[in-house]
Amino acid sequence: MFDRFTYKQKNYGLLVVFILLAMVSYKRSLSLTFNAFNELDNQAQQLESTKHVNEDIETLRIQIAQLNKNIGKSDIQPDLVHQEILGEISEFSDKNDVNLEKLEETHAFKTVDFTIYSNLIMVEGSFNGILSLIYHMENHFQYARLTNVDVYKEKELQKKKEKLYGKLLFQHYRQN
């Protein structure tokens, strides 16, 4: 059967068969070996990165515990905080150009770990008076945190004057 081919043709045929066998052996074994080495390197890198994860998780747990302790440190009743805010603002308004306009009820929002109490207060006065009240409440009031301030003006149609208002939102937390 192979007698009718010349040696040159047989060598070319042998070369083609060798190349095909090389491609098949690469596909069947060598590529799998290279993929296994790459996967092994990736696994080693992941293993190295997971060694530090336990330490990171522990430091995060400590930080979360400290934050929970700081945020939930106010164990005062919400009504007492409401009264303290009212007393502080009324005492401050006697000395400055600020009037208490509106004091809304305490709003409670429960989460898994905390109950968040919010108090919304509206004041009216001059810009310097409202700004000094905000500064005073932010730096000297310790029963609740001043979390939001909104200053706006409204025009009175009867007197044709503009009044400056400030909305102050106080929040304090209690751990459940």
Domain 78-175: which CATH number of 3.30.70.60, 3.40.50.261, 3.30.1220.10, 3.40.50.1820: 3.30.70.60
pTM of the predicted structure, to 2 decimals: 0.60
pLDDT tens for the chain, residues 1 to 176: 678 888 899 899 999 999 999 999 888 888 888 899 999 999 999 888 888 888 888 898 898 777 766 655 566 788 888 898 888 988 888 888 899 998 898 899 998 877 888 999 999 999 999 999 999 998 888 888 888 999 999 988 888 889 999 999 998 888 77
Q: pLDDT value at position 130?
A: 93
Domain boundaries, the chain: 2-51, 78-175
Q: Quote the CA–CA distance of 68 and 81 in Å, as a whole number.
A: 20
Q: pLDDT value at position 140?
A: 87
Alpha-carbon Rg for the chain, nearest whole angstrom, is: 38
